[in-house]
Amino acid sequence: MKQTIADMREIFCNQDQIKPKGEMLEIMSASFRCPEYETSLFGQFNPDYFRRELTWFLSLSDNLHDMYPDGDFPRAWANVASPKGKTNSNHAIPVLSSPKGRLSQFQHCLNQLLEDPKTRRAVMIYLEPEMHDLYKAEGMNDFKCTWGAQVFIRGGYMSYHVSMRSNDAVIGFRNDLAWHRYMHQLILDAYNAIIEHREGKTPVRLGELHWYAGTLHVYPYHRHLVRKEWA
C-alpha cells in the first residue's frame, strides 16, 4: 500500500532521534498519498494565511508588495524574493495565465481530459526550461519547487498527482498542499460542468491526491515541531 503523510511524519520522527542537533532532516524521492483529513505534516495549517496567498496567486502578480504592501514579508518569501519583491513562485502564473493569447496550462489539461478521459497527457507544467537563469534574475534566489501536476480519470474518480523538485516539509508543504487541493477541485468542477451540460454524462468524483518530492526536508530551525510529534 502506498505510503501516506503519516508515514512521512514517522520517518522524520525517527530521523530526529538519530541525527545530530542542527542537521536538516531529509527524505529523498518521497512518494505518498495525501488523505483529505490531513492538512500538514508538522505545525498547524493557517486557512486565513492561505486565503490571502490564494487571492494573490489568482491576481497573477509576481510581486510580493501586492500581497504585503508594507514590505513585511514572511521569512520564507523574503529568502527568495528580489530586493524589490519580485518572485517566480506565484503558482497560478504558469498554469492559469494565457501568455500571448495561447491556451493556459489548465485549459490544455482540461482539453486533454475532455478529448480522452483515459489520457496520460493531462499535465500542467510549472517549471520553465529557463529556470536556471530566471531563478537569480533581478537579485532573486527563487528556483521554483514545483515541477508540475498530472491528472487521471480512472474508475469514475479523478486523481491528482503533484511532482516537486524540492519541498520544505513544514510551511512549504502545507501551503502547497492547499494550493493543489484547490486546483484538483477546480479542474474536477470544470470537467464535470462540461460533460454534464454537453453530453449528459455522470460526473466523476474527487479521487486521491498523490505527492512526489525529489527531496522532502525539515530545516534545523523547525525540528522542534518534529519532536512535538514523538515526545
Helices (DSSP H) in 32-138: which residue ranges? Answer: 47-59, 75-78, 92-96, 105-115, 131-134
Q: Is 145 a catalytic residue?
A: yes
Residue 190 included in any domain: yes
State the pLDDT confidence band at 197, using cuts at 50, 70 and 90.
confident
Residue 83 included in any domain: no
CATH code of residue 116? 3.30.572.10
Question: Domain range for residue 9?
Answer: 5-44+103-230
State the pLDDT confidence band at 1, using cuts at 50, 70 and 90.
low
Instruction: Give the separation between CA 133 and CA 100, rounded to whole angstroms.
Output: 22
Instruction: Give the separation between CA 125 and CA 15, rounded to whole angstroms.
Output: 33
Instruction: Give the separation between CA 148 and CA 127, rounded to whole angstroms.
Output: 7
Is residue 220 pLDDT above 80, yes or no? yes
Count of domains for the chain: 1
Of the residues 13, 34, 109, 145, only one is catalytic, namely 145
Residue 95 included in any domain: no
Residue 127 included in any domain: yes
Instruction: Give the separation between CA 96 and CA 30, rounded to whole angstroms.
Output: 27
- Say what the pLDDT of residue 201 is: 85
Q: Which residues pair with 21 in a beta bridge?
A: none
